[in-house]
Structure 1
């Protein structure tokens, strides 16, 4: 959840929210029930005899559906909460986002809520007199929704037991981080520096995690005020209130400096209470390192889980070893640099994974050997810019031989 943020970040927060899909299902169910019931009564559709029993039987049927759906919904919610608690305590509290964004869990809850609301609206539309017609098509749809809910509930039990497995959690984090790597600037993009003198420093208006920067918005501001903008923290960093957030540079050919309104710059910065995937490349590495470290703790002592997390991290580090440290640059068509923001450094990722896990692997030769193999493999393919950080983490014998 972000306290201040860009429009795109707020839109992403809404789109990924746990409540959105159930809310869509609920609104759709209410609208469908009202529309279908009204259509049946107004047009007198020929569906008589589908569900015989009169208004009393229909009320009994719908009341049973409503009661059952309330119980189903409570059960699904309880199972989801237990899954979140187990995952948080066993692996890492930072992997909860994976469960909350799971569309199957959201769709299951949404289907149960939709069935409950559909039946409730149809119940309210039933006639009071025995000789009046019934919205039998709506009653049939209610029964169909019950059957669909039963099938979804069975699949939900299978799905939740699958996604709670640590291998699935690790693979999901890895896939999410690979998507973040694919969105990085091209590795052959020329490096750029902002050369103009600093004319303004914009501080952070509140503390929190910098999760997203709207580079396009900052570029428009830079063009409007004829300047260049440098973002100081890296996405994923914690910023304290009043700390420098952005520096404004005078364009090299600009005769006079123009001040950029700080509130407009802050509109392009998303500062929240937690890290999020996307521009924050280190978030996935942090989750995998947390899983490995917790698995090696004396209370859990699950070496296999630690090894699996390191294997996933190895693939991610290998992909980044052949790329320079990411730098996000927005240029004008003539090549003028308008915005520059650094990404997380490769050395920082190595420290997060290799150094932190190595401290806990002293009594686990299997993990220690794997860490040495990972570093040795990275040294064979890495760009020269990363070799210093990698060689520093090689085993002593390998480092001496070099």
Structure 2
């Protein structure tokens, strides 16, 4: 939409600059002959066509490289990057602006102000183009992508944390059958829910709304989306509109999807075709940081939205710490069990989690420690090699081991 709006705004701005010339005294330095104005505007049109084509071709190249070396699920974040939209919008807007001015050039009319503005727009476009190249060349590195995704996941998780004090609500689900079940009209992934809209609707109708699926779940058509407990249930179509269902998951309300993208990048690096465990270890650094943000947080009450009086109104499905930890580590451990660098980095990650997460989360960390030990028992039969592979090392291999103990098969 941004390039489209800029393309429409270009001719409108051109008409505005032509209208302004009759009301403004133009400095001599801004005045051009007919031939000069035509040559400048024609050159600007050609330059903008070439730059726009290059950016589109560069974008296609990025998509190809990213889907091969990173994860196709990262593309959604890249498509939404504000700089890319700004660059394309500036290029297309400058192109249509110059074209609209070019048709105004004649023996008796030269859009002097417009030609000057077009020259400034070209200068801005070139600067944005250089920034665009620098930014996206650096952002194609897996480690850079990993930290971008981890920060996005941490931000989403923190935004969805309950803001009020913890209250012992017990089982907030009402007894008895629901008064209404809302079914999906089409299949797809639950991309987001309107938390405020659901709360306002439940409060207005004095009912309790229960979501049947978590954000990120794939639901077939006709599946139950919401259950309503109350005497006067809201309109089903209105409730259906408070959930966004699309073709793929998004990261906006789904921090687990951030972990999914990071794991995909890591296991792709661990595949025999790539065989790049160093990249996997770098991605584990981003995974560790995101897990620490989650593990150091109080996850109680995340499945309940209460009204101003503290009464539960909306019950949502959230993923437990155990689920998120298993999502982050299981596949990397399975594919990287024969990579000494990866197992040592995993051991260091688990050490850091055990030392910093909340007490109620440590049992899941200990379970992952046992799973890593069992994986080493299966894939590394030599005791000396297994002892070396089990030592925690924040760099994988080459850093100072954080402990000289090894995992016990018990």
Report the TM-score when normalising by structure 1: 0.86
Q: Distance in 2 between matches of 1:155 and 1:309?
A: 26
Q: Select which of 33, 41, 46 maps to 1:62.
A: 41
Q: Distance in 1 between matches of 2:339 and 2:292?
A: 24
8 A Cα contact 2:278 2:341, kept in partner: no
Q: Which secondary structure state, in structure 2, belongs to the residue aligned with residue 149 of structure 1?
A: helix
**Map of 2:147 onto structure 1:** 171
**Map of 2:264 onto structure 1:** 290
CA shift for structure 1 position 236: 0.9
Q: Distance in 2 between matches of 1:295 and 1:188?
A: 42
Q: Is 1:365 the counterpart of 2:346 in the alignment?
A: no
Q: Select which of 161, 165, 174 maps to 1:195.
A: 174
CA shift for structure 1 position 398: 4.8
8 A Cα contact 2:26 2:113, kept in partner: no
1:70-109 residue pairs with structure 2 within 5 A? 70-109=49-88
Q: Distance in 2 between matches of 1:280 and 1:79?
A: 29
Q: Distance in 2 between matches of 1:190 and 1:76?
A: 53
Q: Which secondary structure state, in structure 1, belongs to the residue aligned with residue 213 of structure 2?
A: coil
Using the TM superposition, name which of 202-211 and 266-275 deviates more.
202-211
CA shift for structure 1 position 160: 2.0
Q: Distance in 2 between matches of 1:157 and 1:268?
A: 39
8 A Cα contact 1:181 1:281, kept in partner: yes
CA 1:245–1:399: 2 relative to 1, 3 Å: farther
Q: Distance in 2 between matches of 1:77 and 1:47?
A: 38
**Map of 1:8 onto structure 2:** none
CA shift for structure 1 position 380: 3.1
1:330-369 residue pairs with structure 2 within 5 A? 330-369=305-344
Q: Select which of 319, 323, 326 maps to 2:293.
A: 319
**Map of 1:266 onto structure 2:** 240
Q: Distance in 1 between matches of 2:168 and 2:186?
A: 31
Q: Which secondary structure state, in structure 2, belongs to the residue aligned with residue 45 of structure 1?
A: coil
Q: Is 1:228 the counterpart of 2:192 in the alignment?
A: no
CA shift for structure 1 position 135: 1.8
CA shift for structure 1 position 191: 4.9
Q: What is the CA deviation profile of residues 249-269 of structure 1, one whole-angstrom value per residue up to 9, with x for unaligned ones?
A: 23xxxxxx3343321210111
CA 1:329–1:37: 2 relative to 1, 3 Å: same
CA 1:247–1:191: 2 relative to 1, 3 Å: farther
Using the TM superposition, name which of 236-245 and 267-276 deviates more.
236-245
Q: Is 1:306 the counterpart of 2:280 in the alignment?
A: yes
8 A Cα contact 1:211 1:270, kept in partner: yes
Report the TM-score when normalising by structure 2: 0.84
CA 1:50–1:188: 2 relative to 1, 3 Å: closer
8 A Cα contact 1:281 1:344, kept in partner: no
Using the TM superposition, name which of 285-294 and 391-400 deviates more.
391-400
8 A Cα contact 2:154 2:255, kept in partner: no
8 A Cα contact 1:325 1:344, kept in partner: no
Q: Distance in 1 between matches of 2:292 and 2:29?
A: 66
CA 1:153–1:382: 2 relative to 1, 3 Å: closer
8 A Cα contact 1:187 1:324, kept in partner: no
Q: What is the CA deviation profile of residues 23-42 of structure 1, one whole-angstrom value per residue up to 9, with x for unaligned ones?
A: 343344332211011221x2
1 or 2 for the larger relative contact order (CA 8 Å, sep ≥6)?
1
CA 1:56–1:324: 2 relative to 1, 3 Å: same
Name structure 2 gaps, 5 residues minimum: 374-405
CA shift for structure 1 position 162: 1.4
Q: Which secondary structure state, in structure 1, belongs to the residue aligned with residue 244 of structure 2?
A: strand
**Map of 1:150 onto structure 2:** 126
Q: Select which of 20, 24, 30 maps to 1:39.
A: 20
CA shift for structure 1 position 394: 1.1
Q: Distance in 2 between matches of 1:234 and 1:313?
A: 21
Q: Which secondary structure state, in structure 2, belongs to the residue aligned with residue 392 of structure 1?
A: helix
The number of aligned residues is: 371
Instruction: Spell out structure 1 runs of 4+ moving beyond 6 A.
Output: none
Q: Is 1:115 the counterpart of 2:89 in the alignment?
A: no
Name structure 1 gaps, 5 residues minimum: 1-18, 251-256
